Structure 1
Amino acid sequence: MTILPTLPTTAPAPAPAPAVRAERLRAYRDDGPICEQFGRLTQGRLTPLPGTVVAAITVAALLLVAGGEERAIPVLYAPLVALLLIGPSAAHPHRGRVDWLVPPIMRGIEYGYLAVLGFAQDVSAPLIYALLAVLAYHHYDTVYRTRQRLWPSGWVFAAGLGWEGRMFVAAFAGLFGHLSLAYAVLAGYLGVLFGVESVATWARADRGGGVQVDLDEDEETS
């Protein structure tokens, strides 16, 4: 008697189309209104990775130049330089082979800037951690949500000020000696905004009929 092999009842989820992966990368950037306006100037022609790498190096250098000075001007220059270097590529389709590196570098710039600035101006460690934790939750939620085909609304990124808006708020607050207050307000406001919107979106989602996607299925092959 011949025994036929048992075939799997479900096929593996197909890899997302390049266009979908590109849209995810643009969502992962977390650009705010100011950055989006800069992106329109180049109409998507500027490749994002070179400017992002230069921005990361420049922000790090400016923070080193500022040193221990609590209200040094380079602290304000850092977000401005980052915006000028990264903003013009906001409208780029992000379909390049290495464009997936752009969002994590941008997260490193934002998180690193907020952390270094906070510790330099003696903001309490729990408050710095709270702000970074809120941002990390928002970015993780964005990643997981897009992989479940639940795209965040555009107003969420605008209301969240974008990475550039949050850095500018911190820079100006630091220059005028109110960084602890700014971090507390940002952590509270963004925590409520991102938390409530996220819970409301997942509550409305039809999980039974939605598309479930393996988080590791997204290998970049293009």
Structure 2
Amino acid sequence: MKASYEKLIKGNEQWVKEKLSLDPNYFSNLAKGQKPEFLWIGCSDSRVPANEITKTESGEVFVHRNIANQVIHTDINMLSVLQYAVEYLHVKHVIVCGHYGCGGVKAAMDHSYVGLVGRWLAHLKDIYQNNKHILDEIPDANERENRMVELNVIEQVHNLAKTSFIQKAWKNRELEIHGWVYSLHNGKIKDLNCKYESIDQLEPIYRFSGLD
């Protein structure tokens, strides 16, 4: 029986041929280093590949993905990616991109037991509880879920602004953080217009002092 994973190797071989046919120096240039302008914090969902939906090439977008595109201040993995992108790669934009139809958001709005994932989704449940007065006024279940997806992205952008890495960068250079939502139904990205570009936009209680 032919293993299904073999198609990935075959696909890679075809991809290499296509890239070299367009540019014989593609891989030698790529190996010289990366200077992406963007850090993308997205959902792990296989239907939302950052480079494909933004039509960007390898080296243009630095990517971190997790279930329901969370920015959690105890997540060392996410924080490490963020610090490296901001302090070493000097990205100009950090983008949190959620998507409608997110399984993580659906699970967080439900009461079903989902094992360890449930502990991760507890942060989403907090967002729901804090916005219950808004969400409970939406009668249609799909519209309510879509609004929850948007509120989640807005909250994660806010969480980014609370980090010392973002605030330290703001003291020394321009940096913008954005919140977007991708639609699986039409392939389009929606800008939620929740951009932060200065510590002045952040509530004083979250601002760090003494950052170099």
Please give the TM-score of this superposition, normalised by the length of structure 2. Answer: 0.24
Greater fraction of residues in helix: 1
- Asked which structure has the greater CA Rg, the reply is 1
Give the structure-1-normalised TM-score. 0.23
